Amino acid sequence: MSDNHISFPTEVMSCPHLIGGEWSDGSGKEFDIFSPYNGAVVGRSKNASSEEVSKAIYAANLASDTWKKTPLKERTSIMFRFREILLREIETISNTISLESGKTLNESRAGVMKGVEVLEYALSLQNLDSAAKMEVSRGVQCEYRREALGVVASITPFNFPAMVPMWTIPIAITLGNCYVWKPSEKTPLTATLIGQALIEAGLPKGVLTILNGGADSVNAIVDHEDVKAVAFVGSSKIAKLVYTRATSHGKRALCLGGAKNHIILLPDAEAEMAGVGIADSFTGCAGQRCMAASVLLAVGEVDSQIEAIKNRALETTVGNKMGAIITKEQVEFLDKAIDEAVSEGAKIILDGRNTKAPEGLDGGYWLAPTILDHVKPGTTAALTELFGPVLSIIRAQNISEALEIENSNEYGNAASVFTNNGAMAEIVAKNASAGMVGINIGVPVPREPFSFGGINESKFGYGDITGSNSLNFWSDIKKVTTKWQMQNDHNWMS
Ligand code: NAD
């Protein structure tokens, strides 16, 4: 574990709800939180009951009246303090993220810093998001006013316990909403630390609510009449369910789903750049990120680049360079998927199964990087989101065939191309069926102020979850038209 020293707690950590500004253990059914590093129970929480959800949203609604009327600059000053506290506490927060999600400490720190980038974007809104006002006719002025929605909800996945919530917390709260957060039941410990940081920063009671639990807690939140908007990030199956449920109540919803990201590798790609970029994409966070490479579309003669990918992946040892898989069941699912791919004709060129656990971590959930070559289009390994460090290589004759395979996949989060040819890169950028495209970038996450979001089955709803495309999701734009004096020369508009 040389450069990845995670501290394990000596006692099981508690993971309370945050209701009306008070921490509460709750009264619902208890559940355990396991560390993927050693399989030990590291925390315990309870499912928020429907009474607790009602109580929490009642308190949030009460807080909303004052919070939405608080001037933007005052709301922002709390978020400035929040940023300082996050940076001060980054090591504690990162350790907790790693402990419960299996990430390496470096990945956890990077997740917090990406959250800080979104926070910095939210801090800039007080200066940049000035609404327009103009005289549209003689004596008549029109203006835009951005108004908070009230109580909004966010449901987040296990794989980025801080970063994904931080896509929405800073923007939604800075814009004047009261935010109800239901973290993943697999990784809720980080939420307590983020809640503590916001309280220390001076956030008024009820502006942030944290409710733990699973599907029942989500449904109670989504169904509550005072929740005006629902953001969701997780698998496509659940994203669709939550989107349908929220919109059936007439609520706005933005639900980001799963992914099956394709990288097109062309023969002129620089081998070292492709090796590092593609291997780090499918092994980073042990393949458990929605932007991870999953399918490599190898066009023509690219054996030297594939060798470079394999060599880089071989160096990515579990426990220090690559973290753990979220659950034992997920390791079993991945092992089975690899067996199935082989039975469907794939050839294993790097086998991560039965890898030796890092010293002292035998109880953890491990799978080393795995590469399957000659995967056939249409098979499970080619189509299904596996969510682990497994790269499926499909051989393609030319770029058109590669794009056809990429386009036929139901997801649409990310796609990349590795090439030195600008015209080929442009063909991929124009024709890939994905919301985020990379050129010689394995994980093409847009940085602020650019927005994050996919298309097709990777996103249900309109807009993106971060950046400028998210502002209208978290607010209403009121149009105010004003006249103070009768005009002698009035026309039909006056
Ligand atoms: P998940 O869908 O299992 O869970 C996400 C959230 O939904 C959790 O908070 C969970 O408690 C809740 N939930 C689970 N079942 C539910 C149900 N029946 N009804 C209502 N809510 C329910 O996802 P996960 O396993 O935590 O995360 C991994 C998935 O998330 C992958 O598919 C990954 O691609 C996706 N993801 C997507 C993005 C993106 O930006 N598109 C980002 C991160 C993760």
List ligand 1's pocket residues with C-beta within 6 A. 155-160, 164, 182, 184-185, 214-215, 218, 233-235, 238, 241-242, 256-259, 290, 385, 387, 413, 454, 458
Handedness of CA 21, 23, 29, 33 (dihedral sign): positive
User: E-assigned strands of 227-318?
Assistant: 227-233, 252-256, 261-265, 293-299
What pLDDT score was predicted for residue 308?
Answer: 98
- CA angle (263 as vertex; 301, 443 as ends), nearest 5: 135
Q: How far apart are CA 419 and CA 23, in angstroms?
A: 53
What pLDDT score was predicted for residue 487?
Answer: 75
Average the pLDDT over 345-371 and give the result. 97
Q: Return the residue whose CA atom lies nearest to atom 13 of ligand 1.
A: 215
Distance in Å, CA 120 to ligand 1 centroid = 26
Q: Return the residue whose CA atom lies nearest to atom 43 of ligand 1.
A: 290
Average the pLDDT over 2-9 and give the result. 86
DSSP, res 481: E
Contact 226, 61 (CB under 8 A): yes
Q: Return the residue whose CA atom lies nearest to atom 11 of ligand 1.
A: 214
Report all structural domains of the chain as residue ranges with CATH numbers, in order of start: 13-257+462-478 (3.40.605.10), 261-439 (3.40.309.10)
Q: Return the residue whose CA atom lies nearest to atom 16 of ligand 1.
A: 215
pTM for the model stands at 0.97
Quick one: which atom of ligand 1 is closest to the CA of 452?
A: 40
What pLDDT score was predicted for residue 307?
Answer: 98
What pLDDT score was predicted for residue 381?
Answer: 97
Quick one: which atom of ligand 1 is closest to the CA of 259?
A: 34
**Per-residue H/E/C for 13-41:** EEECEEECCEEECCCCCEEEEECCCCCCE
Q: Which residues contact 486 (CB under 8 A, 6 or more apart)?
A: 139
Count of Cβ atoms closer than 10 Å to residue 350 Cβ: 19
User: E-assigned strands of 47-114?
Assistant: none
Contact 283, 389 (CB under 8 A): yes
Contact 291, 263 (CB under 8 A): no
Q: Return the residue whose CA atom lies nearest to atom 18 of ligand 1.
A: 215
Question: Whose CA is closest to 279, among 314, 249, 254, 229?
Answer: 314
Q: Which residues pair with 65 in a beta bridge?
A: none
pLDDT tens per residue across span 201-253: 999 999 999 999 999 999 999 999 999 999 999 999 999 999 999 999 999 99
Q: Return the residue whose CA atom lies nearest to atom 26 of ligand 1.
A: 157
Q: Is the pLDDT of residue 2 over 60?
A: no
The residues that are catalytic are 290
Q: How far apart are CA 414 and CA 440, in angstroms?
A: 13
DSSP, res 318: B
Average the pLDDT over 367-390 and give the result. 97
Tell me which residue has tokens 């030297």: 304
Quick one: which atom of ligand 1 is closest to the CA of 385?
A: 32
Distance in Å, CA 235 to ligand 1 centroid = 4
Distance in Å, CA 268 to ligand 1 centroid = 38
What pLDDT score was predicted for residue 136?
Answer: 83
What pLDDT score was predicted for residue 430?
Answer: 98
Annotate 115-152 with DSSP letters as a single string: HHHHHHHHHHHHHH-PPPEEEEETTEEEEEEEEE-SEE
What pLDDT score was predicted for residue 134?
Answer: 84
Q: For the chain, what percent of residues have pLDDT higher than 90?
A: 94
Distance in Å, CA 423 to ligand 1 centroid = 37
* Residue 275 binned pLDDT confidence (cut-offs 50, 70, 90): very high
Q: Is the pLDDT of residue 389 over 70?
A: yes
Contact 150, 226 (CB under 8 A): yes
370 sits in which H/E element: strand 370-373
What pLDDT score was predicted for residue 133?
Answer: 82
Mutate to test the pocket of ligand 1, among 47, 158, 387 (most ligand atoms within 8 A of CB): 158
What pLDDT score was predicted for residue 233?
Answer: 98
Q: Which residues pair with 350 in a beta bridge?
A: 371
Q: Is the pLDDT of residue 1 over 60?
A: no
The half-sphere exposure of 326 on its side-chain side, counting CA atoms within 13 A, is 21
Q: Is the pLDDT of residue 394 over 90?
A: yes
SS3 assignment, position 242? helix
300: left (phi over 0), alpha (psi -120 to 50) or beta: left
What pLDDT score was predicted for residue 32?
Answer: 98
Q: Is the pLDDT of residue 494 over 70?
A: no
Query: If 0-12 CB within 10 Å is exposed, 13-18 middle and 19+ buried, where does residue 110 land?
Result: middle
Q: Is the pLDDT of residue 446 over 90?
A: yes
The tokens describing 89, both together, are 């506490």
Distance in Å, CA 436 to ligand 1 centroid = 20
SS3 assignment, position 418? strand
